[in-house]
Amino acid sequence: MQRPKKATHAAISRFIASILPAKENDVPRLYHVPRNPRYDPETAVIEQVVLSVTPTPGVYTLIGYPHDEPDVELRAPAPKPHLRPPRTLCFLHRPFTLDRRSVRKGTLVISSHTAFDEVLTVGWNTALAERLGMNVGESLCVQGYKGDPERKIGIVGQVAQHRDLLVGRIQQEFGSTELVQAGLSDEIRVVAIMNAFHEDEVHRVLEMAQRRGWLGLDTPGKHMLYLTGQPRVGGMQAATALGMTVACVGHRQAEDWGIRFLAAGMRTAFPGVHVQEVYEEEIIQARDKKVAV
């Protein structure tokens, strides 16, 4: 029987790297590192992992310094037993507003922005594609976007499903959909999971499927479902003209899917670690502007 992996900073970093490959244009993977001169990621043990899209009040509650709540009657801190907080590692998809001063000593914050968007939202997400019944082994990668020829923005593959059944699966995966527009056919043969939704991308994925012979020439878009995050006017107009079915799950819901996927993987790989998922909106504190006198 295989023994569970020892949960250390290094072990969890390697686990995340196995899912989210490092990219040159991404945020630093080790976004906030403990400053203790004796810090060793190979021996720094983890008891708790916190995952969130952004740093939120709930995240700081789990990775920050504990505060005693004031006693209402005495107007003074009530005595509490000093329990050691769990040794914690945090993963953030969008860490840009992290207040490092509020991060508890010894806590490592790992991040991935570009790679996370690429493989764990509605882009080159092979795990999601498999769950939706796509033939991933023969699927096509949509690559190249905004001047970056290496950027993967989607996957196009074959399915053989009724439209309503497929939309139901999508809603089950994401919890809900922001918008669903039915196309001209209830028979879906090709799905495009895309991290962009403009006219060019709609025509691009259709042409890729046609070149493979997955769609005919007579109203080919009617047998295709375009799955993306945020609705876009140009993309919707192009998809409507082609008779495509469109499912938009929303930008944040797509990111939350990736957090759930990572959390589930963590629980399997490190069963002794308490995995916490935080799903709430970030509250950005505006700094007071100095007024010239």
188 three-state secondary structure = strand
Count how many Cα atoms sit within 13 Å of the Cα of residue 231 in the half-sphere of its side chain: 13
Question: Using a CB cutoff of 8 Å and minimum separation of 24, what contacts does 216-220 make?
Answer: 219/184, 219/243
| 73 annotated among ligand-binding-site residues | no
Burial (Cβ within 10 Å: 0-12, 13-18, ≥19) of residue 278: buried
Strands 70-71, 48-52: pairing kind: unpaired
| 251 annotated among ligand-binding-site residues | yes
| 198 annotated among ligand-binding-site residues | no
| 263 in Cβ contact with 277 (< 8 Å) | yes
Calpha distance 88→8 (Å, rounded):
10
Annotated binding site for a divalent metal cation: 117, 251, 255
Annotated binding site: 117, 251, 255
